[in-house]
Amino acid sequence: MSLAFSPEVESALHEQRPIVALESTVISHGLPYPANLEAASAMQEAIRREGAVPATIGILDGKIKIGLTDEEISRLATEKPVQKVSRRDLAVTLATKRLGATTVAGTMLCASMAGIRFFATGGIGGVHRGATTSLDISADLMELSRTPVLVVCAGAKSILDLDLTLEYLETQGVPVIGWQTDELPAFYVRRSGRRLPHRAESIEIVADIARTQWECGLQGLVVTCPIPEQWSMEAEPLEAAIEEALVLAREQAVKGAAITPFILDHVARVTGGESVEANKALLEHNAIWAARFACAYYLSRGKGDEIADAS
């Protein structure tokens, strides 16, 4: 097994304490320097404050590292090139010993291999606009249908086709649960106008849903947390910036894995950095709730074990 653990994560796994996985492409590709380091640090500290253990995941020296050190995170934030690692890229990146940052799909896969069930990210990937002809669909959606990890996010990135993303998740049997909301959040924007099939009001209910999901032999699930109100962006100017970025991407033949960072970078420039600050805020917010869900899951699981032992 190509897994290497930090002492903190290894101890938490041994003691069956709550752990929250974190992706690393947000560090290498998602945010500019030094905002990427600030976001990584804020997420880890938020998880620790809630009583859980953060496990940022990346690929270093032919190993899947579960729990990156500050120095390793700094490498991903500053060195070039860094391979974006989804399921299809994992074996190649490990065998060639390239420096790799895990996507949502890649992080889910590696977290599951390590026995970690909770994961906080910004926004999941999805069905891209124009996918009816391009077939550009993020591997995140398929990974959710095959990997037993709960993903806490601010919905899907607003650069995507949100209607088709929800349809695809439904087809794959992936539960999408609104955390105290009936609508799918749209990353920088609290509301998208797309109604969700399920809503949860308490941390304990989320933990119970996750446990039942996995007891039934089912796989991934999504809990969507709207960006905090004070950081939410206006939908119309944001949409205009996205449409402009999509036109530029077509003109410059930007495709595949490069298109999302291209669009996010353009939006950051157009909004004068407002989108970067919003991204950092929603990342930390999602980390807080993921830690709370993980703690509730492990607390109730422990009670259940005690009851079983007593009987």
Query: What DSSP assignment string belongs to 140-191?
Result: HHHHHTTS--EEEESBB-TTB-HHHHHHHHHHTT--EEEES-SB--BTTBS-
CB 300 within 8 A of CB 204: yes
pLDDT (tens digit per residue) in 155-197: 997 788 999 999 999 999 999 999 999 999 999 999 999 999 9
The catalytic residue positions are: 23, 157
pLDDT (tens digit per residue) in 281-304: 999 999 999 999 999 999 987 544
pLDDT over 50 at 29, yes or no? yes
CB 238 within 8 A of CB 178: no
Question: Is the domain covering 3-301 a CATH 3.40.1790.10 domain?
Answer: yes
The answer to the question of whether 200 is labelled as a binding residue is no
The answer to the question of whether 140 is labelled as a binding residue is yes
pLDDT confidence of residue 263: 85
The answer to the question of whether 232 is labelled as a binding residue is no
CB 177 within 8 A of CB 200: yes
Residues 6+ apart with CB under 8 A from 60: 68, 72, 75, 99, 100
pLDDT over 90 at 21, yes or no? yes
pLDDT over 70 at 305, yes or no? no
pLDDT (tens digit per residue) in 229-255: 999 999 889 889 888 988 898 899 887
Residues of the chain above pLDDT 70, percent:
96
Q: At what angle do helices 203-215 and 274-310 cross, to 10 degrees?
A: 70
pLDDT confidence of residue 16: 95
Residue 81: asked if its preceding bond is cis (omega within 30°), the reply is yes
Task: Return the half-sphere exposure (C-beta side, CA atoms, 13 A cut-off) of residue 76.
Answer: 33
The answer to the question of whether 136 is labelled as a binding residue is yes
The answer to the question of whether 84 is labelled as a binding residue is yes
Pairing of strands 150-153, 118-120: parallel
Neighbours of 269 (CB within 10 A): 13
Neighbours of 79 (CB within 10 A): 10
Neighbours of 114 (CB within 10 A): 22
The answer to the question of whether 139 is labelled as a binding residue is yes
Per-domain residue ranges of the chain: 3-301
pLDDT over 80 at 264, yes or no? yes
pLDDT confidence of residue 1: 64
